[in-house]
Amino acid sequence: MIPAMPASVAAARPRQVSSAVLRLGRVAAMGSVAVLILIAGVWASWGTAQHVVLTKGRERGTVEVTRCADGSCSGPYAPVSAGSQARGRVVIEDSVAVSKGRTYAVVVKPGGDEVVRSGPAGVLFAWVPMGGALLLASVVVAGGLRRTRVAWGMAGAGVALLTAAFFAV
C-alpha cells in the first residue's frame, strides 16, 4: 500500500480485479458454448444442404414416391439435368417433407441411389438444424453474454428459418 493512498482504495483494488477476471471468464465460456452450438448446427445441416445448395455437376430430377416403409420412401427417378440417367428406384428419407403419391424435385447423392429434396423447400428443410441451433444459441447469448439485441436477432433468424421451412414443406 502506498502511504498516501487511503486504506479503502487499496482494499477495493483486488475486488475489482477479481470481478473483471470472473467477467472475462464468463464471456469466454459462454462465447465458446454459443460458437460450439452454432458450429454443431452448421455441421448437422451441411450433410444434406451440400447436395441441395451446390447442385452444379450433380444429377437432378424428380421422384414419384410410391412406397414408404422403415423410415425411407422410394419410387422411380426421372432425370431433368443433362447427363442424369433414369432409375427404377431411388430412396428418399421419410420425413415430414415427403408423402406417398407425390412427386418431388430431387438431387441424387453421389455414389448411390439416395436422393434429397431440392428447390426452395429442400434448401429450407436442409437448414432446419441450423434454425434450432440459432434459437438455442440465442438463449446462451442473452443469458451468458448479456447481449440481448444480438440474442433477439439470432432468435428472430432461427424462428424465421423454421417458419419458412414449415410453410415451404
DSSP sequence for the chain: --TTS-HHHHHHHHHHHHHHHHHHHHHHHHHHHHHHHHHHHHHHHHHHHHHHH--TTS-EEEEE--EEETTEEEEEEEE-STT---EEEEEEE-STT--TT-EEEEEEPTTSSEEEE-HHHHHHHHTHHHHHHHHHHHHHHHHHS--HHHHHHHHHHHHHHHHHHHHH-
| More reliable by pLDDT, 10 or 135 | 135
- In angstroms, the CA 114 to CA 143 distance is 42
The pLDDT-based confidence of 14 (bands split at 50, 70, 90) is confident
Average pLDDT along the chain: 88
Whole-number pLDDT of residue 124: 92
132-139 mean pLDDT: 97
Query: Distance between CA 85 and CA 61 in Å, rounded?
Result: 9
Averaged pLDDT for residues 134-142: 96
**pLDDT for 82:** 87
User: When comparing pLDDT for 130 and 14, which is higher?
Assistant: 130
Cα-based distances in Å from 153 to 30, 127, 131, 135, 138: 17, 17, 12, 10, 8
Q: With bands split at pLDDT 50, 70 and 90, how would you rate the model's confidence at 28?
A: very high
Whether the predicted pLDDT of 113 surpasses 60: yes
Predicted confidence at residue 31, as pLDDT, reads 94
Closest Cα to residue 63, out of 114, 120, 112, 127? 114
pLDDT at residue 15 above 80?
no
Closest listed residue to residue 111, CA positions, set 62, 44, 59: 59
